[in-house]
Amino acid sequence: MGIFKKKRDLTIFIDGENAAPLWAIPLYVYLVREYSLAECYVIGNTNKIASDYHRFEGKHFHLVNSMTGKNSADTWLVMMATEALCSNKVNNLAVFSNDRDFAPLARLAAEKKKQITLYAKFDSGNRSLLESFYKANGGDYLKVQLIDGQKPIDEQVEKPKPITLKERVLKFLDFKNNFNNKSSELAQQLAQMKEKQLQDKGKVAPPKVANAKKPKAPKAPKPKKKPVPAKIPFSATDGRGQRLYEEMPASIHNYYDRRGKKGKVSIVLAKDKDGEFIELPFINGMVEGVFTEMISRLKICPEGTSYRMYIKSLGLIIKHERLFYGVGHR
Protein backbone atom coordinates (compact mmCIF):
# COMPACT_ATOMS: atom_id res chain seq x y z
CA MET A 1 0.00 0.00 0.00
CA GLY A 2 2.94 2.39 0.63
CA ILE A 3 1.88 6.02 1.13
CA PHE A 4 -1.74 5.10 0.36
CA LYS A 5 -1.97 3.05 3.54
CA LYS A 6 -4.06 4.65 6.27
CA LYS A 7 -1.65 6.08 8.82
CA ARG A 8 -2.25 6.41 12.54
CA ASP A 9 -1.81 10.18 12.92
CA LEU A 10 -4.24 11.39 15.62
CA THR A 11 -3.07 11.64 19.22
CA ILE A 12 -5.62 12.58 21.88
CA PHE A 13 -4.97 14.10 25.32
CA ILE A 14 -7.94 14.19 27.72
CA ASP A 15 -7.83 16.36 30.83
CA GLY A 16 -9.49 13.82 33.11
CA GLU A 17 -10.09 16.37 35.87
CA ASN A 18 -11.58 19.05 33.61
CA ALA A 19 -13.29 17.37 30.66
CA ALA A 20 -16.49 15.70 31.85
CA PRO A 21 -16.95 12.06 30.72
CA LEU A 22 -20.51 12.97 29.69
CA TRP A 23 -19.21 14.66 26.51
CA ALA A 24 -15.54 13.46 26.41
CA ILE A 25 -16.34 9.75 26.03
CA PRO A 26 -18.85 10.13 23.13
CA LEU A 27 -16.38 12.53 21.45
CA TYR A 28 -13.54 10.01 21.84
CA VAL A 29 -15.67 7.23 20.33
CA TYR A 30 -16.60 9.48 17.40
CA LEU A 31 -13.00 10.52 16.66
CA VAL A 32 -11.81 6.92 16.79
CA ARG A 33 -14.43 6.03 14.21
CA GLU A 34 -13.68 8.94 11.87
CA TYR A 35 -9.90 9.20 12.29
CA SER A 36 -7.04 6.74 12.63
CA LEU A 37 -6.03 6.82 16.28
CA ALA A 38 -2.36 6.65 17.19
CA GLU A 39 -2.59 7.06 20.97
CA CYS A 40 -5.00 8.40 23.59
CA TYR A 41 -3.93 9.56 27.06
CA VAL A 42 -6.39 10.33 29.89
CA ILE A 43 -4.51 12.31 32.53
CA GLY A 44 -5.67 12.76 36.10
CA ASN A 45 -6.02 11.10 39.47
CA THR A 46 -6.71 7.48 38.49
CA ASN A 47 -8.67 6.92 41.70
CA LYS A 48 -11.26 9.34 40.30
CA ILE A 49 -11.16 8.77 36.54
CA ALA A 50 -10.61 4.99 36.35
CA SER A 51 -14.29 4.13 36.83
CA ASP A 52 -15.23 6.16 33.72
CA TYR A 53 -12.40 5.21 31.35
CA HIS A 54 -11.10 1.79 32.46
CA ARG A 55 -13.24 -0.04 29.84
CA PHE A 56 -11.29 1.70 27.01
CA GLU A 57 -7.82 0.96 28.43
CA GLY A 58 -5.71 -1.06 25.99
CA LYS A 59 -2.88 -0.97 23.48
CA HIS A 60 -3.53 2.62 22.31
CA PHE A 61 -5.55 3.94 25.27
CA HIS A 62 -3.64 4.85 28.45
CA LEU A 63 -4.61 6.11 31.90
CA VAL A 64 -1.88 8.41 33.24
CA ASN A 65 -1.88 8.95 36.99
CA SER A 66 -0.97 12.57 37.71
CA MET A 67 -1.24 11.92 41.42
CA THR A 68 -2.84 14.61 43.56
CA GLY A 69 -2.24 18.29 43.91
CA LYS A 70 -3.34 21.51 42.28
CA ASN A 71 -2.74 21.65 38.50
CA SER A 72 -0.91 18.32 38.57
CA ALA A 73 -2.96 17.00 35.64
CA ASP A 74 -2.33 20.22 33.67
CA THR A 75 1.42 19.92 34.19
CA TRP A 76 1.50 16.33 33.01
CA LEU A 77 -0.67 17.09 29.98
CA VAL A 78 1.49 20.05 28.86
CA MET A 79 4.66 18.00 29.32
CA MET A 80 3.39 14.99 27.34
CA ALA A 81 1.76 17.08 24.59
CA THR A 82 4.95 19.13 24.17
CA GLU A 83 6.97 15.94 23.83
CA ALA A 84 4.50 14.64 21.23
CA LEU A 85 4.60 17.84 19.15
CA CYS A 86 8.40 17.81 19.14
CA SER A 87 8.56 14.21 17.91
CA ASN A 88 8.28 13.04 14.32
CA LYS A 89 5.51 10.57 15.14
CA VAL A 90 2.63 13.02 15.70
CA ASN A 91 1.03 15.21 13.00
CA ASN A 92 -2.43 15.78 14.45
CA LEU A 93 -3.14 16.54 18.12
CA ALA A 94 -6.45 16.82 19.97
CA VAL A 95 -6.94 18.17 23.51
CA PHE A 96 -10.14 17.71 25.54
CA SER A 97 -10.29 20.42 28.16
CA ASN A 98 -11.98 23.66 29.28
CA ASP A 99 -8.70 24.95 30.71
CA ARG A 100 -7.02 27.89 28.98
CA ASP A 101 -3.64 26.99 30.46
CA PHE A 102 -2.96 24.84 27.37
CA ALA A 103 -2.97 27.82 24.98
CA PRO A 104 0.88 27.79 24.57
CA LEU A 105 0.52 24.40 22.90
CA ALA A 106 -1.12 26.19 19.96
CA ARG A 107 1.98 28.35 19.42
CA LEU A 108 4.24 25.28 19.57
CA ALA A 109 2.03 23.40 17.10
CA ALA A 110 2.28 26.30 14.64
CA GLU A 111 6.08 26.36 14.98
CA LYS A 112 6.23 22.62 14.30
CA LYS A 113 3.62 22.94 11.49
CA LYS A 114 1.31 20.39 13.12
CA GLN A 115 -2.46 20.50 13.55
CA ILE A 116 -3.92 20.97 17.03
CA THR A 117 -7.62 20.96 17.87
CA LEU A 118 -9.11 22.00 21.22
CA TYR A 119 -12.43 20.41 22.16
CA ALA A 120 -14.19 22.20 25.02
CA LYS A 121 -17.65 22.11 26.54
CA PHE A 122 -19.96 24.89 25.37
CA ASP A 123 -20.72 27.22 28.30
CA SER A 124 -20.60 30.88 29.33
CA GLY A 125 -16.87 30.81 30.10
CA ASN A 126 -15.82 29.94 26.55
CA ARG A 127 -15.05 33.54 25.58
CA SER A 128 -11.95 33.83 27.78
CA LEU A 129 -10.88 30.34 26.66
CA LEU A 130 -11.12 31.29 22.96
CA GLU A 131 -9.28 34.58 23.51
CA SER A 132 -6.41 32.79 25.25
CA PHE A 133 -5.99 30.25 22.47
CA TYR A 134 -6.25 32.70 19.57
CA LYS A 135 -3.77 35.06 21.23
CA ALA A 136 -1.27 32.20 21.14
CA ASN A 137 -1.00 32.76 17.36
CA GLY A 138 -1.75 29.20 16.33
CA GLY A 139 -2.91 30.48 12.93
CA ASP A 140 -4.25 27.88 10.50
CA TYR A 141 -2.79 25.10 12.64
CA LEU A 142 -5.30 25.77 15.47
CA LYS A 143 -8.94 24.73 15.56
CA VAL A 144 -11.35 25.12 18.46
CA GLN A 145 -14.63 23.21 18.58
CA LEU A 146 -17.21 23.68 21.33
CA ILE A 147 -19.25 20.62 22.34
CA ASP A 148 -22.84 20.81 23.55
CA GLY A 149 -23.45 17.79 25.73
CA GLN A 150 -27.18 17.87 24.94
CA LYS A 151 -26.70 17.36 21.16
CA PRO A 152 -25.35 14.38 19.18
CA ILE A 153 -21.59 14.58 18.64
CA ASP A 154 -21.70 13.85 14.90
CA GLU A 155 -23.90 16.93 14.35
CA GLN A 156 -21.33 19.22 15.98
CA VAL A 157 -17.86 17.95 15.12
CA GLU A 158 -16.35 18.70 11.74
CA LYS A 159 -15.63 15.49 9.86
CA PRO A 160 -12.13 14.99 8.46
CA LYS A 161 -11.83 15.58 4.73
CA PRO A 162 -10.77 12.44 2.83
CA ILE A 163 -7.35 12.72 1.19
CA THR A 164 -7.67 12.50 -2.57
CA LEU A 165 -5.37 10.44 -4.76
CA LYS A 166 -3.85 13.62 -6.17
CA GLU A 167 -3.02 14.92 -2.68
CA ARG A 168 -1.38 11.61 -1.75
CA VAL A 169 0.73 11.60 -4.91
CA LEU A 170 1.81 15.21 -4.28
CA LYS A 171 2.64 14.30 -0.69
CA PHE A 172 4.74 11.39 -1.89
CA LEU A 173 6.58 13.56 -4.44
CA ASP A 174 7.26 16.17 -1.76
CA PHE A 175 8.63 13.44 0.53
CA LYS A 176 10.81 12.11 -2.30
CA ASN A 177 12.25 15.57 -3.05
CA ASN A 178 13.01 16.17 0.62
CA PHE A 179 14.69 12.77 0.84
CA ASN A 180 16.86 13.47 -2.23
CA ASN A 181 17.84 16.90 -0.89
CA LYS A 182 18.79 15.45 2.48
CA SER A 183 20.80 12.69 0.76
CA SER A 184 22.79 15.21 -1.29
CA GLU A 185 23.39 17.36 1.80
CA LEU A 186 24.61 14.32 3.71
CA ALA A 187 26.96 13.39 0.85
CA GLN A 188 28.41 16.91 0.84
CA GLN A 189 28.89 16.83 4.61
CA LEU A 190 30.71 13.49 4.39
CA ALA A 191 32.97 14.84 1.63
CA GLN A 192 33.78 17.91 3.72
CA MET A 193 34.57 15.75 6.77
CA LYS A 194 36.87 13.55 4.70
CA GLU A 195 38.69 16.55 3.23
CA LYS A 196 39.11 18.04 6.70
CA GLN A 197 40.59 14.78 8.00
CA LEU A 198 43.08 14.76 5.14
CA GLN A 199 44.01 18.38 5.84
CA ASP A 200 44.55 17.56 9.52
CA LYS A 201 46.94 14.81 8.44
CA GLY A 202 48.75 17.14 6.04
CA LYS A 203 47.38 15.48 2.93
CA VAL A 204 44.99 17.48 0.79
CA ALA A 205 42.93 15.46 -1.64
CA PRO A 206 43.07 16.69 -5.26
CA PRO A 207 39.87 18.36 -6.50
CA LYS A 208 37.54 15.95 -8.21
CA VAL A 209 36.48 16.67 -11.76
CA ALA A 210 32.81 15.95 -12.40
CA ASN A 211 32.24 12.85 -14.46
CA ALA A 212 35.97 12.48 -15.08
CA LYS A 213 36.95 8.96 -15.99
CA LYS A 214 40.49 7.70 -16.12
CA PRO A 215 41.42 6.45 -19.56
CA LYS A 216 41.93 2.74 -19.54
CA ALA A 217 45.34 1.57 -20.62
CA PRO A 218 45.15 -0.63 -23.69
CA LYS A 219 45.59 -4.25 -22.82
CA ALA A 220 48.58 -5.94 -24.35
CA PRO A 221 47.53 -8.76 -26.66
CA LYS A 222 48.14 -12.14 -25.18
CA PRO A 223 50.76 -14.10 -27.07
CA LYS A 224 49.27 -16.97 -28.98
CA LYS A 225 50.45 -20.33 -27.88
CA LYS A 226 52.14 -22.26 -30.63
CA PRO A 227 50.75 -25.75 -31.02
CA VAL A 228 53.06 -28.51 -29.89
CA PRO A 229 54.15 -30.55 -32.93
CA ALA A 230 52.57 -33.99 -33.04
CA LYS A 231 54.83 -36.93 -32.23
CA ILE A 232 54.78 -39.10 -35.34
CA PRO A 233 56.62 -42.46 -35.03
CA PHE A 234 58.52 -42.44 -38.32
CA SER A 235 60.90 -45.39 -38.69
CA ALA A 236 63.91 -43.19 -39.39
CA THR A 237 64.64 -39.62 -38.42
CA ASP A 238 64.99 -37.44 -41.52
CA GLY A 239 63.85 -40.42 -43.55
CA ARG A 240 61.76 -40.25 -46.67
CA GLY A 241 58.43 -40.37 -44.84
CA GLN A 242 59.33 -37.50 -42.51
CA ARG A 243 60.68 -35.37 -45.37
CA LEU A 244 57.50 -35.87 -47.40
CA TYR A 245 55.37 -34.99 -44.32
CA GLU A 246 57.34 -31.79 -43.73
CA GLU A 247 56.60 -30.72 -47.30
CA MET A 248 52.86 -30.86 -46.60
CA PRO A 249 50.96 -27.53 -46.14
CA ALA A 250 50.44 -25.92 -42.75
CA SER A 251 46.76 -26.93 -42.65
CA ILE A 252 47.70 -30.62 -42.52
CA HIS A 253 50.39 -30.01 -39.89
CA ASN A 254 47.94 -28.01 -37.72
CA TYR A 255 45.38 -30.83 -37.92
CA TYR A 256 47.85 -33.46 -36.72
CA ASP A 257 49.19 -31.12 -34.04
CA ARG A 258 45.66 -30.51 -32.62
CA ARG A 259 44.40 -34.07 -32.93
CA GLY A 260 47.70 -35.50 -31.77
CA LYS A 261 46.87 -34.30 -28.23
CA LYS A 262 43.66 -36.36 -28.10
CA GLY A 263 44.52 -39.41 -30.18
CA LYS A 264 47.70 -41.40 -30.78
CA VAL A 265 49.38 -40.83 -34.16
CA SER A 266 50.43 -44.04 -35.89
CA ILE A 267 51.85 -45.02 -39.26
CA VAL A 268 50.08 -46.55 -42.25
CA LEU A 269 52.27 -48.00 -45.05
CA ALA A 270 51.32 -47.23 -48.64
CA LYS A 271 53.09 -48.06 -51.95
CA ASP A 272 53.94 -45.37 -54.46
CA LYS A 273 53.87 -45.83 -58.23
CA ASP A 274 57.39 -47.29 -58.13
CA GLY A 275 56.32 -49.91 -55.61
CA GLU A 276 58.27 -48.39 -52.70
CA PHE A 277 56.65 -48.03 -49.27
CA ILE A 278 55.80 -44.58 -47.89
CA GLU A 279 54.98 -43.94 -44.24
CA LEU A 280 51.71 -41.97 -43.87
CA PRO A 281 50.71 -40.48 -40.47
CA PHE A 282 47.28 -41.73 -39.37
CA ILE A 283 44.92 -41.10 -36.41
CA ASN A 284 42.05 -43.48 -35.81
CA GLY A 285 38.85 -41.50 -36.45
CA MET A 286 40.56 -38.71 -38.42
CA VAL A 287 38.79 -36.67 -41.12
CA GLU A 288 38.78 -38.37 -44.50
CA GLY A 289 39.57 -35.13 -46.38
CA VAL A 290 42.93 -34.59 -44.62
CA PHE A 291 44.16 -38.08 -45.48
CA THR A 292 42.85 -37.76 -49.04
CA GLU A 293 44.74 -34.48 -49.49
CA MET A 294 48.01 -36.16 -48.47
CA ILE A 295 47.47 -38.96 -50.98
CA SER A 296 46.65 -36.40 -53.67
CA ARG A 297 49.79 -34.37 -53.02
CA LEU A 298 52.01 -37.47 -52.94
CA LYS A 299 50.41 -38.70 -56.20
CA ILE A 300 50.46 -42.32 -55.06
CA CYS A 301 46.92 -43.25 -56.05
CA PRO A 302 46.99 -45.50 -59.21
CA GLU A 303 45.27 -44.19 -62.30
CA GLY A 304 41.69 -45.34 -62.70
CA THR A 305 41.33 -45.93 -58.93
CA SER A 306 39.25 -43.59 -56.76
CA TYR A 307 40.69 -42.23 -53.57
CA ARG A 308 38.14 -44.14 -51.50
CA MET A 309 39.02 -47.44 -53.17
CA TYR A 310 42.70 -46.74 -52.59
CA ILE A 311 42.09 -45.90 -48.90
CA LYS A 312 40.16 -49.15 -48.45
CA SER A 313 43.05 -51.03 -50.06
CA LEU A 314 45.23 -49.77 -47.17
CA GLY A 315 42.99 -51.69 -44.74
CA LEU A 316 41.03 -48.65 -43.53
CA ILE A 317 37.27 -48.23 -43.14
CA ILE A 318 35.33 -45.07 -44.06
CA LYS A 319 32.37 -44.17 -41.82
CA HIS A 320 30.61 -40.79 -41.97
CA GLU A 321 33.60 -39.23 -43.76
CA ARG A 322 36.00 -40.42 -41.05
CA LEU A 323 38.68 -43.10 -41.26
CA PHE A 324 39.09 -46.02 -38.88
CA TYR A 325 41.30 -49.10 -38.65
CA GLY A 326 39.88 -52.06 -40.44
CA VAL A 327 39.89 -55.73 -39.39
CA GLY A 328 43.38 -56.98 -38.70
CA HIS A 329 44.73 -53.65 -37.36
CA ARG A 330 45.53 -53.26 -33.68
pLDDT band at 167 (very low <50, low <70, confident <90, very high): low
Summarize pLDDT for 278-317 with one digit per residue, the tens: 888 888 888 898 898 988 888 888 888 888 888 888 889 9
The whole-number pLDDT of residue 154 equals 82
The whole-number pLDDT of residue 161 equals 60
The proportion of the chain whose per-residue pLDDT surpasses 90, expressed as a percent, equals 7
**What's the whole-number mean pLDDT along residues 192-209?**
70
pLDDT at residue 5 greater than cutoff 50: no
Give the relative orientation of helices 250-262 and 288-298 as an angle to the nearest 10 degrees. 140
The whole-number pLDDT of residue 314 equals 86
The whole-number pLDDT of residue 8 equals 64
Give the relative orientation of helices 21-34 and 46-53 as an angle to the nearest 10 degrees. 50
Summarize pLDDT for 295-304 with one digit per residue, the tens: 888 888 888 8
**What's the whole-number mean pLDDT along residues 82-106?**
86
The whole-number pLDDT of residue 142 equals 85
From 21-35, 84-98, 204-218, 298-312, the region with the lowest mean pLDDT: 204-218
Residue 242 Cα distances to 200, 238, 247, 289, 298, angstroms? 77, 6, 9, 20, 13
pLDDT at residue 205 greater than cutoff 60: no
Please give the mean pLDDT across all residues of the chain: 81
Domain boundaries, the chain: 2-162, 240-325
The whole-number pLDDT of residue 66 equals 83
pLDDT band at 213 (very low <50, low <70, confident <90, very high): low
Higher pLDDT, 165 or 244: 244
Q: What architecture is the 2-162 domain classified under in CATH?
A: 3-Layer(aba) Sandwich (3.40)
**What's the whole-number mean pLDDT along residues 40-50?**
86
pLDDT band at 14 (very low <50, low <70, confident <90, very high): very high
pLDDT at residue 143 greater than cutoff 80: yes
